[in-house]
Structures are given as structure tokens and as C-alpha cells.
């Protein structure tokens, strides 16, 4: 129903710049993920869209219309807060119907909408309880129901499922994605969990200190990070970043030959995803510099932590190969699967 655009938006709190000259556009019906470490400005961006904070500079547009001076109540954007922010003195049902009642909708319409949403989120049986009587997961769903009950132009969610246990989180994640598809509304979703960002988003914005470092589809950001910062943010275990040796033909002082790779000019660092780092048996002299530090079998894959001098790096191997801790191994890089970065962290290509 609506696109959301930021034009050179800046927001300061005292001396700290929370959002720094930001420009981006979220397309209509897009599942847009804001992803970054704590204090990178994710929540502030949501509050700016909601109108709970006013930008110091720049312009925010919803559906092409500037909304800088429109009150939160009139922006027609729904929000699920990080700490849920249910109204504790009201029952779950009163919480869910609140947005409609405040807009003076007629009683029969409210009742049918509430019933609809309750069915969708499976909370019909707990509507009479007060938030204090609900479990964490139930509260979560009530908070989501309160956002879904009306018909806003966009939904904003601030890390809404971080309090759930792992299994419930995966379920809710899938559910949210499905609901968003079904409603066809724009969704702005804040998370600090890279797996969550990768799995649900149409596009991800990777944030650092109030600036967007890269925007793109998850696979694009994963395969083609614009900087070493972005490269390290996505992927678990994180990408290995290694200084290149003199001559750029190897890394780790010769322990990692880069023979099959074309190293671009100006590259100072090589980035290798753990799944692209290949572990082999120790070769002859000069190759035995890498020692196995720890082996974590995870079922389908095994994560091997390696130690080369002072540097620690991680490789991901399919299956459960027999690798002994403290043994010596050799390393190589899968053909064509590496990123290169200049001294300032920017990606360099050939």
C-alpha cells in the first residue's frame, strides 16, 4: 500500500548522531530488514517513521507524501515494540481492540476484526486474560495482534521475537513472513540476528553507527559485501578476514596459498566464508603452520576452529569428518570464492 522514503534524514540526541544523513527507499509491499549491532540507529529509524521522533534534518515520505509534520496517530503505521508495550491495566482483548476503538469504529466491525486476528494468531482462548497472566509467547502474539488488527499502510516491528525460545522464534518468523505475504503490506523489521534477517527479508539494510553500509537482497549482500564490516556482519560463523602476505600470493605467512585465485590490485585483506575454507591433510614442511584448535560437530556440518600463529579462523566442513584437535592441517580456498578488501575495508574487485 505504501512506500517509505528517507531523504537525507539526520537525527541527533544531544551530541550523539543516531541517524546520519540517511537516504533510502522501501518499496511498497516489501519485507525490509534493518540489521545492525545495538545502537546502530535501527530503533530510531522506526521511531522516525512512526513520528515519535522528529528528524533534525531531511524529509520522510510515506507514499510519496512528506510526513514530517504529521502526528503519529495520523500516519496510519502500526508498530510492535521491542518490549511489547502492552497496556497492563487492560485485558488482552481490550489491548487488541484498542486501535479500532480509538478510531471510533462501530462495534460489530471491531468484534469481527478482533475475532479475525485472534484466529490468525491463535489467541482466541486467552483474550479474556490480562497481560500479567500470559506467558512470554502469548504476550508476543497479543502485541502482534494489536498491530495487525487495523489496516495500516505499513507494519513496523522492533525485534519482536527476540524474547522467544529458539523453536518458537523460528515458527513465529515463518508465520510473520506468511502473514506479510498474505496482507501484502510493507513491513519494516528490525533485528540484530543475522539468521533472521537473511531468512525473512526481501532486502536488508546493514547499519553501522547511524549510516547504512549496504542495502540489497540477502544473497547479494552475502555474496558481494561492499566492505569488510558488512562481510563480517552476515553469516555465521563470521567470514574469515586475513591480511595478505607480501606479493599477494598467499596469506597466513604462506600457510594459505592463493594459487587458484585472481587477487586484484590494491587488495590488503582477503575474506573467506567458513564454507569456502577447505581443510586438508598436512603436507610437507612449510605447510604445517595451521593447527586444529577445536572441532564442533553440528550434525550436517562441522565447524573447525583453526589456529595459525596469532590468527584464529573457522572453517565449515560438510558432514562429520574425522579431524583431531591439535593435529596439523593444510588450508586452501575454494576456487573463485573469496572477497578482497583494501586497507580501509572497502571491497576491491578485479
Partner 1 sequence: MNRSLPFEIFRYAAILSLVALSLVPTLWMASMAFKPIAEWSATGADLTWWPKSPTLDNFRFLFGESSSELIVALDRTAGQPILSSLLSAVFGTLIAMISGTSAAYGLSRFGSGGNLPLALIQLRIFPPMAVMIPVMIMWAFLGLIDTWYGLALVYGIVTMPFAFWLMKTFFDDMPREIEDAALVEGCSRLRVFWKITLPMMRPALASSALFVFILNWSDYLIALLLTTRDWVTIPVYMASLSSSMTGQLYGAKAALGLIAAIPPVILGIAIQKHLVRGLTFGALKQ
- The verdict on 163 binding partner 1 (CB under 8 A) reads yes
Query: How deeply is 248 buried, as exposed, middle or buried, from its count of CB atoms within 10 A (0-12, 13-18, 19+)?
Result: middle
Considering the complex, state which of residue 89 and residue 349 has its C-beta at the smaller distance from partner 1.
89
Q: CA-CA distance, 129 to 122, in Å (whole number)?
A: 14
- The verdict on 102 binding partner 1 (CB under 8 A) reads yes
- Of the candidate spans 95-103, 165-173, 198-206, 216-224, the one that interacts with partner 1 by CB under 8 A turns out to be 95-103
- Of the candidate spans 61-69, 98-106, 165-173, 249-257, the one that interacts with partner 1 by CB under 8 A turns out to be 98-106
Q: CA-CA distance, 70 to 279, in Å (whole number)?
A: 58
Considering the complex, state which of residue 61 and residue 134 has its C-beta at the smaller distance from partner 1.
134
Considering the complex, state which of residue 53 and residue 276 has its C-beta at the smaller distance from partner 1.
53
- The verdict on 132 binding partner 1 (CB under 8 A) reads yes
Considering the complex, state which of residue 103 and residue 122 has its C-beta at the smaller distance from partner 1.
103
- Tell me how far, at minimum, the Cβ of 152 lies from partner 1, in Å: 9
C-alpha distances in Å from residue 105, one per residue of 159, 169, 209: 30, 33, 42
Residue 133 half-sphere exposure, CB side, CA atoms within 13 Å?
11
Considering the complex, state which of residue 130 and residue 337 has its C-beta at the smaller distance from partner 1.
130
C-alpha distances in Å from residue 120, one per residue of 61, 141, 147, 149, 176: 31, 10, 13, 10, 11
C-alpha cell recorded at residue 73: 496517530
Among 27, 39, 52, 283, binds partner 1 (CB under 8 A): 52
Q: CA-CA distance, 176 to 24, in Å (whole number)?
A: 24
Considering the complex, state which of residue 132 and residue 284 has its C-beta at the smaller distance from partner 1.
132
- The verdict on 85 binding partner 1 (CB under 8 A) reads yes
CA dihedral 50, 55, 61, 66 (to 10 degrees): 110
Q: Which residues bind partner 1 (CB under 8 A)?
A: 47, 50, 52, 71-73, 77-79, 81-89, 98-99, 102-103, 130-134, 136, 139-140, 146, 150, 163
Amino acid at each position: 500500500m505504501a512506500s517509505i522514503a528517507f531523504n537525507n534524514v539526520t537525527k541527533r540526541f544531544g551530541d550523539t548522531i543516531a541517524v546520519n544523513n540517511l537516504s533510502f527507499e522501501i518499496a511498497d509491499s516489501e519485507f525490509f530488514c534493518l540489521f545492525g549491532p545495538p545502537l546502530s540507529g535501527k530503533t530510531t529509524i522506526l521511531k522516525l517513521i512512526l513520528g515519535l521522533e522528529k528528524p533534525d534534518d531531511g524529509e520522510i515520505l510515506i507514499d510519496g507524501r512528506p510526513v514530517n509534520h504529521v502526528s503519529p496517530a495520523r500516519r496510519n503505521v502500526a508498530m510492535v515494540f521491542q518490549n511489547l508495550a502492552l497496556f497492563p491495566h487492560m485485558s488482552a482483548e481490550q489491548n487488541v481492540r484498542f486501535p479500532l476503538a480509538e478510531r471510533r469504529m462501530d462495534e460489530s466491525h471491531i468484534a469481527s476484526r478482533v475475532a479475525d486476528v485472534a484466529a490468525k494468531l491463535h489467541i482466541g482462548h486467552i483474550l479474556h486474560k490480562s497481560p500479567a497472566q500470559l506467558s512470554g509467547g502469548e504476550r508476543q502474539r497479543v502485541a502482534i495482534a494489536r498491530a495487525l488488527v487495523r489496516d495500516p499502510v505499513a507494519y513496523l516491528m522492533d525485534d519482536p521475537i527476540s524474547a522467544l525460545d529458539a523453536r518458537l522464534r523460528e515458527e513465529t518468523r515463518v508465520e510473520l513472513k506468511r502473514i506479510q505475504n498474505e496482507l501484502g503490506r510493507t513491513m519494516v523489521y528490525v533485528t540484530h540476528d543475522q539468521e533472521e534477517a537473511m531468512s525473512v527479508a526481501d532486502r536488508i539494510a546493514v547499519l553501522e553507527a547511524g549510516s547504512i553500509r549496504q542495502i540489497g537482497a540477502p544473497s547479494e549482500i552475502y555474496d558481494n559485501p561492499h566492505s569488510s564490516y558488512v562481510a563480517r556482519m552476515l553469516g555465521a560463523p563470521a567470514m574469515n578476514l586475513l591480511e595478505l602476505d607480501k606479493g599477494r600470493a598467499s596469506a597466513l605467512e604462506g600457510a594459505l596459498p592463493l594459487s587458484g585465485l585472481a587477487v586484484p590490485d590494491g587488495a590488503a585483506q582477503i575474506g573467506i566464508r567458513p564454507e569456502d575454507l577447505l581443510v586438508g591433510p598436512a603436507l610437507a614442511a612449510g605447510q604445517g603452520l595451521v593447527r586444529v584448535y577445536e572441532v564442533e560437530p553440528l550434525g550436517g556440518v562441522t565447524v573447525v576452529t583453526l589456529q595459525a600463529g596469532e590468527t584464529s579462523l573457522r572453517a565449515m566442513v560438510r558432514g562429520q569428518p574425522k579431524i583431531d584437535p591439535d593435529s596439523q592441517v593444510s588450508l586452501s580456498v575454494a576456487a573463485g570464492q573469496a572477497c578482497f578488501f583494501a586497507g580501509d575495508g572497502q571491497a576491491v574487485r578485479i
